Chain A
Amino acid sequence: DAKTTQPPSMDCAEGRAANLPCNHSTISGNEYVYWYRQIHSQGPQYIIHGLKNNETNEMASLIITEDRKSSTLILPHATLRDTAVYYCIVRVVWSGGSNYKLTFGKGTLLTVNP
């Protein structure tokens, strides 16, 4: 799987948009970008995923650059409950082999401040 690079930590004010960047410059054509988050001592939670188009759901928006080498997760109105480690992961979704692993990197600790 392609590797990702994320800042180790970010701060955001409550009610403002949180923009979390991720670099994945070696991404392949058969790899999607996934975002998960993990609130302290809980299991990871799926947020969103995409291939090349921008995606939006009830939790967040995912903006992928045209060359697919980077992406940004946007939480439009961050709340205190959004404080968590956010993981950007690129994952093979179709392949002749069986390597469909989800490999977590170190992630970004987002702290939402009142």
Chain B
Amino acid sequence: DTEVTQTPKHLVMGMTNKKSLKCEQHMGHRAMYWYKQKAKKPPELMFVYSYEKLSINESVPSRFSPECPNSSLLNLHLHALQPEDSALYLCASSQESRGPHEQYFGPGTRLTVT
């Protein structure tokens, strides 16, 4: 099973809402990632978790709060977002963050902030 699942597929939220994106993998991978992709742009890394610890934060605003409750789950908590945060949010996992391991991506959550 090489599947990374993400829920929800689509999310519309107001600027005062709090919502969460969820990502799950059952491949035994110990590294998980959040990427953001704006329309017609390549994905940009936001966060990396390695062995359930945050190892990279690409200077992401605090209105995005990642959480890794266990080795299979990755959440992204959203609060007080801006319309410019509307994008496709992609989750990925790999065997480890170091080494020649490929990343497996989920289908993404398309977020619209109104």
Contact = CB atoms under 8 A, between A and B. Distances in A.
Contact of B99 (A43, A93, A98): A93
Place the interface of chain B in its size category.
Answer: 20 to 34
A102 interface: yes
Nearest to B44: A104
A44 to B, nearest CB: 5
Contact of B98 (A51, A94, A102): A94
A29 to B, nearest CB: 13
Contacts of B90: 43-44
Nearest to B107: A43
A103 B97 CA distance: 13
Given A105-B42, A107-B42, A43 B56 contact: no
Interface of A: 32, 34, 38, 41-46, 49, 51, 87, 93-95, 98, 100-107
